[in-house]
Amino acid sequence: MVARRLPAGAAGDKMAGVTARLDVLCTGYAAERVASTVALIRDEGVTVVVDPGMVAGRLQILGPLAQLGVDPAAVTDVVFSHHHPDHTLHAALFERARFHDFWAIYQGDVWTERPADGFRLSPSVTLMATPGHTAQDITTLAATDGGLIACTHLWWSQEGPDTDPLAEDQELLERSRVKLLALGPALIVPGHGAPFAPPGN
């Protein structure tokens, strides 16, 4: 298993600094079987895993991490794009991490409420509220010298579907897509597929 290294992205004037680095640990899929796309973001003072959910086996996550020299105990933060189990199932691999969702941070027995929208995990990693698939969906934005990368479930994959068959609110999802694309992302890391450049990039 080889982690795919990508040029992580900056949100232009919206985010400070361009220091983050993003690697895809596992490319997801959704057909007869389901796996989430799992990403690793490293920035000043943080090591972040996004959506450590369903995969064929935990080595699909741990193997690429080891290749990148990252100990699971060194992961500082885990972000859930939303609460469906296919995006959260392997969270326990990172027992020392802080866990982020749309309304709080969880660590040990401490529950700290805060809105995710605009919350900064580090100088170059920011959360953004992008409801539609669920009302609680968030996107993780990583700013690097390669442009902006958005880890998001606003798209399942580059191949579609354009209309999310499980969306709680398709119209709201479309508005969230417009809001995200207005930032000019260089790459989208979708919920169940390989990273892709959005139209126009």
Per-residue model confidence (pLDDT) at position 10 = 34
Q: What is the pLDDT of residues 94-119, one digit of tens each?
A: 999 999 999 999 999 999 999 999 99
**Cα(39)–Cα(25) distance, rounded to whole angstroms?**
5
Q: Is the dihedral of CA 130, 134, 136, 141 positive or negative?
A: negative
118: tokens are: 């605009």
> pLDDT band at 199, cuts 50/70/90?
confident
SS3 177: helix
**What pLDDT was estimated at residue 86?**
97
Check residue 19 and report its DSSP letter: B
Question: pTM surpassing 0.85?
Answer: yes
**Sheet strands (E) in 19-169:** 21-26, 29-30, 34-35, 38-43, 46-50, 77-79, 98-100, 104-107, 110-113, 120-122, 125-129, 138-144, 147-151
Rounded average pLDDT over 177-191: 97
CA angle 6, 11, 13 (to 5 degrees): 145
The Cα–Cα gap between 80 and 165 comes to 20
Superfamily (CATH) of domain 4-189: Ribonuclease Z/Hydroxyacylglutathione hydrolase-like (3.60.15.10)
Domain ranges of the chain: 4-189
At 17, the pLDDT band (50, 70, 90 cuts) reads low
pLDDT, tens digit, 9 for 90 and up, residues 124-174: 999 999 999 999 999 999 998 889 999 999 999 999 999 999 999 999 999
Q: Which of 15-29, 33-47, 107-121, 150-164 has the lowest mean pLDDT?
A: 15-29
